[in-house]
Structure 1
Amino acid sequence: MLVREMMTAPVVTVPRTWSVKQAIHLLYEQDITAAPVVDEKGRMVGIVSEMDLLRGEFETDPGSYLRPVALPGSRPSVGVEEVMTSNVRTVQEQADVLEVVDLMITMGVKSVPVLRGGDVVGMASRRDLMGILAHGDERIRDDVLAALRDSLETTLWQVTVRDGLVELHGADVDDRSARIAEIIARTVPGVAGVVLASSGASGTSELP
């Protein structure tokens, strides 16, 4: 599966000139945990997360736990640029989802900006990945069947799914047609892998 097929889009961005409080309101209202920070031309210059914003708004001194850093009017609000992460790891929209998973595991991040060339076009989050995994086998099977029906003229394919692994069963199907069917099946959300199997297995679901 490609990143563009699972990312959240359109992407919500934070202007780098905003204050931490403005960014907090945006993330809260949009129910997101992180957002790219962009300059005046819309180019990404960093990323800011809920934790970055909380650190910017509250002191870390245990003696002032959850106490605002300053009373209203005592000093200007902290800016997003002061708390954002400027060294951002990104992925291209045509990358495999496994690249996102690897980044999240190795870097310990919850969200990864998705680029089309140099432009931010989406965000890939742990929630997005969990949504893919939450697809039940029955729904995946139905989606694969629908994708094959919509893309191919033949109805020779049968489909079984177990733990996200799709098995395609086709009678009298040449290698080219089998490869096309495999590619189509891999585009369906929730598909963990595709196996081209012999036809006639039990428990299959024939294309209507």
Structure 2
Amino acid sequence: MLVGEAMTSPVVTIPPSATVRQAIRVLHEHDVTALPVVDPSGQLIGIVSEMDLLRGEFESDPRAFARPRNAPSAPVARTVEKVMTRGVRTARPTTDVAELAEMMVRTRIKSVPVVQGSHVIGVISRRDLIAMLARGDARIRDDVLASLATYAPQARPWQVAVKDGVVELRGRDDANTERIVEVLARTVPGVTRVLVQPSA
């Protein structure tokens, strides 16, 4: 599966001039964990996450301490530009989801902007990947059959079984058509592996 098939689009972005509190409201309203930061021309210049926005936003409650603490001076409204992460890892719509998922696990990154050139066209998050894996086997099977019927109508009938996202294709055709059938099955959201078993 490719990133373009799993990403969330259209994407919610924010300008670097927005305040931290504005960014927090946008995160909350759209139920996302990170926002790509774009300049006026729409080019990606950073990303701001929940963690970035939480730093320094809460003052200590005096009831939690035996001795009162000095009252802090009036906070200065911070902007997204001051708290965002600039070195952003990105993906392209044609990036393999398996490769991206491995990178996200290794680096503990939760959200990755998807770019075409330097413009953001989507975001893919851990939540998007979990949603793909959560699709039921019956729905995956129906989608595999529909994909074969639409894009490989010349193929001979194939038996399709799905268990825990693993697709088993049973049938026989010429080598080229068998490869097409396997590739089509791999593109269906929720498929984690494809096994091709020749029929007797």
Cα shift readout 1:141-200 (whole Å, capped 9, x = no counterpart): 1110111112222451111112211111224x1011111111111110011121211226
After superposition, the Cα gap between the structure-2 partners of 1:81 and 1:64, relative to the gap in structure 1 and judged at 3 Å, is farther
After superposition, the Cα gap between the structure-2 partners of 1:64 and 1:92, relative to the gap in structure 1 and judged at 3 Å, is farther
After superposition, the Cα gap between the structure-2 partners of 1:175 and 1:50, relative to the gap in structure 1 and judged at 3 Å, is same
- Mapping for residues 1-208 of structure 1, pairs under 5 Å: 1-58=1-58, 74=74, 76-154=76-154, 156-171=157-172, 173-199=173-199
Unaligned runs of at least 5 residues, structure 2: 65-70
Cα shift readout 1:15-73 (whole Å, capped 9, x = no counterpart): 011100111111111110101011111111110011111115235x79798xxx978xx
Task: Provide the rounded CA distance (Å) in 2 between the counterparts of 1:109 and 1:56.
Answer: 21
Task: Provide the rounded CA distance (Å) in 2 between the counterparts of 1:36 and 1:128.
Answer: 16
Amino acid at match of 2:78: V
Unaligned runs of at least 5 residues, structure 1: 201-208
Match of 1:203 in 2: none
After superposition, the Cα gap between the structure-2 partners of 1:123 and 1:56, relative to the gap in structure 1 and judged at 3 Å, is farther
Q: Greater shift after overlay, 127-136 or 113-122?
A: 113-122
> How many residues were matched structurally?
193
Cα shift readout 1:119-141 (whole Å, capped 9, x = no counterpart): 21111101001011101211111
- Normalised to the residue count of structure 2, the TM-score between the two structures is 0.88
Q: Percent identity?
A: 52
- Could you say what secondary structure the match of 2:55 adopts? helix
Moved over 4 A (4+): 61-65
Amino acid at match of 1:115: V
After superposition, the Cα gap between the structure-2 partners of 1:41 and 1:2, relative to the gap in structure 1 and judged at 3 Å, is same
